[in-house]
Chains A and B, each alone.
Chain A
Amino acid sequence: NAGVTQTPKFQVLKTGQSMTLQCAQDMNHEYMSWYRQDPGMGLRLIHYSVGAGITDQGEVPNGYNVSRSTTEDFPLRLLSAAPSQTSVYFCASSYEGAGQGGYEQYFGPGTRLTVT
C-alpha cells in the first residue's frame, strides 16, 4: 500500500491564481481530512469528509473548497490564492474498526505552498 499520497510536494502561486492540491489513499478509509500547518499554530482543520459525497467545514474553511466523488480521492481547491494561504498542507485518512481498532489518522507527506 502507498498509504496517503499528496501532490505536488511544492508549489508557488501568484496572488489570485487557483489550484488543486491532490490527495489519495489506497486503504479504503471512509474518513478524510485536510489540515494546514503554520508555525506556532499547530494543525488547523480546513475541511473533512465522512464518505464519498459527504463533506463538511472545519476550523478554517474560508478560501478553500473540497469534494469527495470517490472513497480514494479528496482534492482541496484554492479558489483565489492569497498570501495568507502560504502554509504546509496535510491530508489524512482514518477508519473506525471494531473495539479500539482504528480511529487514528494516517497522514500524507504534505504540500508546501507559497503564495506571492
Chain B
Amino acid sequence: AQSVAQPEDQVNVAEGNPLTVKCTYSVSGNPYLFWYVQYPNRGLQFLLKYITGDNLVKGSYGFEAEFNKSQTSFHLKKPSALVSDSALYFCAVRDLYSSASKIIFGSGTRLSIRP
C-alpha cells in the first residue's frame, strides 16, 4: 500500500534563509511524487511533481524538490524563504501501477516564515 510521511508538523524559518520541508514515501513500485500548497481557507495548489527523469525538479514560486530513491524521500526546498511562503504544504504519492486517481497525501507541514 502507498503511504507518505511528513515528519514535521511545523517548520519555522527566518525570511531570506533556506527552507526544507521533509517527505518520505512508501510504494510497492516506482513512485509518482507531488507537492501541493494550501493557503488559509483555500483549496490545494499544485507546486511540482516527479514522474521520471532528472531527480531534481523545479516548480512554482522558486520551489524545488529532490527525488532520492535510496532514501525514499522527496524533500521540498527553497534557497531563500519569503514571508508569503507561509502556508500548509502537502506531499503526495502515487504508485506507478495504481490508479491515476489513487493519490495518497501526507498529514501536512505548516511552514511559518518570520520577517
| A and B are interacting partners | yes
Name the distance in Å between A7's Cβ and chain B's nearest Cβ.
14
Which chain A residue shows the least CB distance to B46?
Answer: A104
Q: Report how far A15 CA is from B103 CA in the complex, Å.
A: 30
Cβ contacts under 8 Å, A32 to chain B: 101
Q: Is the CB–CB distance between B100 and A109 below 8 Å? A: no
Q: Report how far A44 CA is from B53 CA in the complex, Å.
A: 28
State which size class the interface on B falls in: 20 to 34
Within 8 A of B (CB), among A10-39: 30-33, 35
Cβ contacts under 8 Å, B92 to chain A: 43
Q: Is the CB–CB distance between B42 and A109 below 8 Å? A: yes
Which chain A residue shows the least CB distance to B100?
Answer: A31
Which chain A residue shows the least CB distance to B50?
Answer: A100
Q: Is the CB–CB distance between A109 and B43 below 8 Å? A: yes
Q: Report how far A109 CA is from B45 CA in the complex, Å.
A: 10
State which size class the interface on A falls in: 20 to 34
How many inter-chain contacts with C-beta < 8 Å in the A-B complex?
A: 73
Which chain A residue shows the least CB distance to B103?
Answer: A105
Q: Is the CB–CB distance between A42 and B100 below 8 Å? A: no
Cβ contacts under 8 Å, A108 to chain B: 43
B residues in contact (CB < 8 Å) with A: 6, 9, 32, 34, 36, 42-46, 49, 51-53, 90, 92, 94, 99-108
Interchain residue pairs A-B with the least CB separation, the first 5: A48-B101, A42-B107, A43-B105, A31-B101, A107-B43
A residues in contact (CB < 8 Å) with B: 30-33, 35, 40-45, 48-50, 56, 58-59, 90, 92, 94-96, 100, 103-110
16 pairs, A vs B, C-beta closer than 8 Å: A35-B105, A40-B9, A42-B90, A44-B105, A45-B103, A45-B104, A48-B99, A90-B43, A103-B34, A103-B51, A103-B94, A105-B46, A105-B103, A107-B36, A107-B43, A107-B45
